[in-house]
Structure formats: C-alpha cells, structure tokens
Amino acid sequence: MGLHFDVGACVRATSKFSQCSKCVDICPDSISLVDNLPSFSAATGVEAAACVGICPTEAFALSDFSTTEFFFTFLESKVRLISPKFNVPCISVLSVEHLISLALASEETITIDMSSYDEDSLLFEHIEECIDEANFVLSSFSKKQLETNHIPSKVVKEKNEQEQEDEVTSRRSFLENASLEGVVKHKKAFDDAVDEDEMQHFEIDASVIAKIKDKNLPNKRKILFTTLKRAEVPDVFEILPEEEVSFTSQKFVDESCTNCQICYRICPTGALSSDNKFSLIHFDAMLCVKCRLCHDVCEPDAIQLQSGFEIKEFFEPTQRTLATFNIKRCNECGNNFTYTGGEQMCPRCAVEEEEAMFLHANAKRMRGEE
C-alpha cells in the first residue's frame, strides 16, 4: 500500500506563501519539504497514513484504501468497530470530518480500537486529539459519541517491530551474502530497494496549474454535509471556540482590505468568492477547509478568524458578505477599480501618470528650464 500525492490539490502548490505544514508535522520521519512541496520516499506507505487524514484538501491518498469507500462499506457492515487489525490500515487515515460523519450516520455507537498504538507516540496523541475533537463537536448538537478501546497489545507491538525488522533485513541481506554468482540474481532486488528508498520530487507543470484553477470540495466535506442534512436539528445552536475546530472556520475582513482579489481567486474550494464586478467578498463556512491559504497570501493581513464557530452553519449554511467595495470606471483607461476617494483614476493609471510627471520634470531640469 503506497502513498500517493496529488500536487494540484496541495495548497503549497497554489502559492509559495502557503504556510501549511500539517503533513510534515504529523509525519516528520516520512515527509519533508523540497522546493516548497512535500516529498517522500517511493516506499512510503501506511506509516504516513496520518497525512491522508490531516490534509485539508485531500492531496494525499493510499493506493489500496479509499476513505470515501470505507465510509459506505463500514455503514453497510454490521460491525461497529474501527480497528487497524480489522478494517483500516491506520485509524489516522480518517479525518475529524470522517469520524463525525460516521458517528452521525450510524444507529449504534462506534468503538475505535487504540490497542495497536504506543501511548507515548505522536501518532497515538494525534488520533486521540481527532477523536476528542469529533466528540466535542458532536456534543454541541447530538447525543452520539465515539468510544475508544485502550486495551494494551504488547503482542501486536512486538509483531509490528519484528515485521519492520524483517523488511529491513530482506532489503539488505543480498548485500551481506552477495557473491559473484549471486550478483545477477540479486540485481533486481537491489534495483527495487534503491527505487523504494529514492525520494519522490514533485514539480508544478502545466497540468498541475490547470488543476489548481479548479475549485474542488474534498469528498470528506461532501460526506459531512450529507450526514448533517439527516441529523436532528438542535433547539439551541452553540458557539464553539475557534481553536477547538480544526476543519472549518468563520471569518471577517477588517478595514485594511484593499480588494486585491487574491484571497477569493486562490481559495481552493470556493469558500471565498465575489461577483462579476468584484465589488464584494462572500464567504461560505461550509466550504472552508481551514487551510489558511487566504490568510497566508493576504498582504495587509485583513482576513481574520472569528473567535467562535457557530454550529448553526452546519444546519443553516449561509453565504455571508464580509466586505463591499465602491467600484467605479477609471476616467483614463475605462477599466473598473476599487474607488476609495479622490480623482476617479485606477491605481495603474495613477502610477503611470506619476511616472510621466516625474520624467517630464526630469527632462525640464536637464534642459535647464528650472
């Protein structure tokens, strides 16, 4: 089961200003940044499953496991246990959104088996945080909760360590026991081992650029949106602390905004948008994946997060207007621009006029007319 990376879906490919490092932070031993993009060994697989679950735009995937397919097959089954020993390669492959959706869609309580993980590991801590967040969000509008099983499993741990040791041994044994007669026989094994250890480097080509321009909502958000439609609407809508919700947000735009248009042009899901005249900024919280790309590219830092997230957005999603602008036609070039007062001239024409006046004054000085 290998790890795959869709460059066009990664927010770091969208802008060099992106500060997203979730995949590297959760899989520091497997993933690194090379030329601003995630890079990993060709042999990387389940050990980096956490990057699949944590990536806001689903840029990562495992070759033989689909989280979307798992969601539906799990609900069709009678078993209400999620376990790496049984039906998932690693629990971390499931995002908070998946966990919330599974809990909402299931009539019976779901148990998550944590016995295969070292309680002192980063992975164990990450999975627990995801489960805790899912339960926290669920508690704001539903009685459904996810349960965990923390029974120690030394046997599983020892087996996993032995399997890893055997894998390393199998890769290197041919070198230790190599003879002249065995060179040809082991050449393919050597080539395969070298290929597996080589780092995969990703580049942004024309096809990637074309994909970046598309606005795509991750499947996990579509699943969450669908399950929320079937959930019972609470009598009172709570407001959760912004820092307790990792997968979506609510925003506001302060007065420093210049309407440069970068934020809604670069938003990977279309959560931020405008009209045909670019006279406003709309925001839809249910389309926001909290990748923070709009914050990273905003030069005046005008886009801010609300201190709380309103659960009402889950059940009554609204497209809010964060900012409006006075759009006028430039008297010089005829193009529309954001008018802030003074002469009705767009910034480009104003710069050109300023440069022309400077050159004219400089020419007069050179002729000695001043």
User: What pLDDT, on the 0 to 100 scale, is given for residue 92?
Assistant: 96
Say which residues have a Cβ less than 8 Å from residue 59's Cβ, sequence separation at least 6: 5, 6, 7, 9, 10, 23, 38
DSSP structural state of residue 121: S
Taking only the tens place, the pLDDT of each residue in 160-217 is 444 445 444 444 443 344 444 444 444 454 444 444 556 666 666 666 566 666 788 9
| Under 8 Å between Cβ of 82 and 88 | yes
User: What pLDDT, on the 0 to 100 scale, is given for residue 108?
Assistant: 93
Domains of the chain by range and CATH?
A: 3-152+202-211 (no CATH), 238-325 (3.30.70.20), 328-366 (no CATH)
Rounded distance, CA 159 to CA 111, Å? 23
Rounded distance, CA 253 to CA 283, Å? 10
Q: b/e map of 168-193 (b: 16 or more CB within 10 Å)? A: eeebeebeeeeeeeeeeebeeeeeeb
Q: Which two tokens stand for residue 113?
A: 């088996």
The owner of tokens 């016995």 is 115
CB-count burial class (<10 Å; 0-12, 13-18, 19+) for 196:
middle
What are the Cα distances from residue 84, in Å, to 48, 52, 90, 91?
A: 14, 15, 5, 6
- Check residue 261 and give left, alpha or beta (phi > 0: left; psi -120 to 50: alpha): left
Nearest Cα residue to 44 out of 59, 65, 29, 22? 29
71 alpha carbon, distance to own chain's centre: 19
Q: What angle do CA 348, 350, 355 make, to 5 degrees?
A: 95
DSSP structural state of residue 233: P
- Say whether 115 sits in a helix, a strand or coil: coil
Q: Which residues of the chain have pLDDT under 50?
A: 153-164, 166-187, 189-195
Nearest Cα residue to 272 out of 280, 41, 81? 280
User: What pLDDT, on the 0 to 100 scale, is given for residue 183?
Assistant: 43
pTM for this one? 0.79
Rounded distance, CA 278 to CA 356, Å? 29
User: What pLDDT, on the 0 to 100 scale, is given for residue 291?
Assistant: 95
Nearest Cα residue to 297 out of 15, 55, 38? 15
How are beta strands 111-113 and 147-149 bridged, if at all? Answer: parallel
Q: What is the sign of the dihedral through the CA atoms of 188, 190, 196 and 202?
A: negative
| Under 8 Å between Cβ of 283 and 320 | yes
CB-count burial class (<10 Å; 0-12, 13-18, 19+) for 106:
middle
Q: Which two tokens stand for residue 179?
A: 């003879």
User: What pLDDT, on the 0 to 100 scale, is given for residue 330?
Assistant: 87
- Check residue 253 and give left, alpha or beta (phi > 0: left; psi -120 to 50: alpha): beta
| Under 8 Å between Cβ of 84 and 90 | yes
Q: Which two tokens stand for residue 241?
A: 């602390």
User: What pLDDT, on the 0 to 100 scale, is given for residue 124?
Assistant: 95
How large is the C-alpha radius of gyration of the chain?
A: 27
Cα dihedral angle (117, 119, 120, 121), rounded to 10 degrees?
Answer: 30
User: What pLDDT, on the 0 to 100 scale, is given for residue 198?
Assistant: 61
